[in-house]
Amino acid sequence: YTLSLHDALPISGGNMKISMQVEWKARGYLFCKSNAAGNLRHYCLYTDKQGALKLYYLPEDAASSIGIGFSDVKVVAGETHIIALTFSSLDKKVTLSVDGASQTRKFTSEPPAEDCTPGDDCVLLLVARSSRKGDLTHEWSMNGTIASAQVFYY
């Protein structure tokens, strides 16, 4: 699932809310906003096979992403979850909620985050991360059902 961001503006904050049931074999991305090659992860939510969640984000002028782990919230394979991510570069905070349970963490970089410039090299994928090959058939995709997805930027 790819959302076009051609008309989007660089963001200082926003929120994303997804209701999804995901089945995965080991690991994968619930969503990932990155460049087309997938190697610059601006905002990407990753889960491992135990359901632990980590947000990867790209600090301004950085060559690689930084990960923030969330130990208080998890997802379970095969179950439907309502996942909400709210972030603010101005407040330097990110809150992740799974089925009503939430955890807030601070961005660990200064300045906190950089968003991609609108165009062909800025993609938002659901249940996948773009690959260096430019396709979706790779180890970072997952199978599942998305009941709804909402993305708000400000």
Q: Give the other-Cβ count within 10 Å of 40's Cβ.
A: 20
More confident position, 98 or 152: 98
Please tell me the predicted confidence (pLDDT) of residue 105.
94
More confident position, 125 or 2: 125
Please tell me the predicted confidence (pLDDT) of residue 124.
79
Best CA proximity match to 22, nearest among 87, 96, 74, 72: 74
User: In this structure, are residues 54 and 70 in contact, taking their beta carbons and an 8 Å threshold?
Assistant: yes
Q: What gap in Å lies between CA 78 and CA 22, rounded to an integer?
A: 6
Tokens of 66: 């930084």
Report CA-CA distances (Å) from 38 to 34, 52, 67, 138, 146: 5, 21, 15, 11, 22
pTM of the full structure:
0.81
Does pLDDT of 108 surpass 90? Answer: no
Percent with pLDDT over 90 in the chain: 13
Please tell me the predicted confidence (pLDDT) of residue 93.
86
DSSP designation for 129: -
Tokens of 109: 């970089």
Average pLDDT over residues 85-89: 80
How do residues 37-77 score in pLDDT, each as one tens digit? 888 888 888 988 888 999 998 887 788 888 999 999 998 87
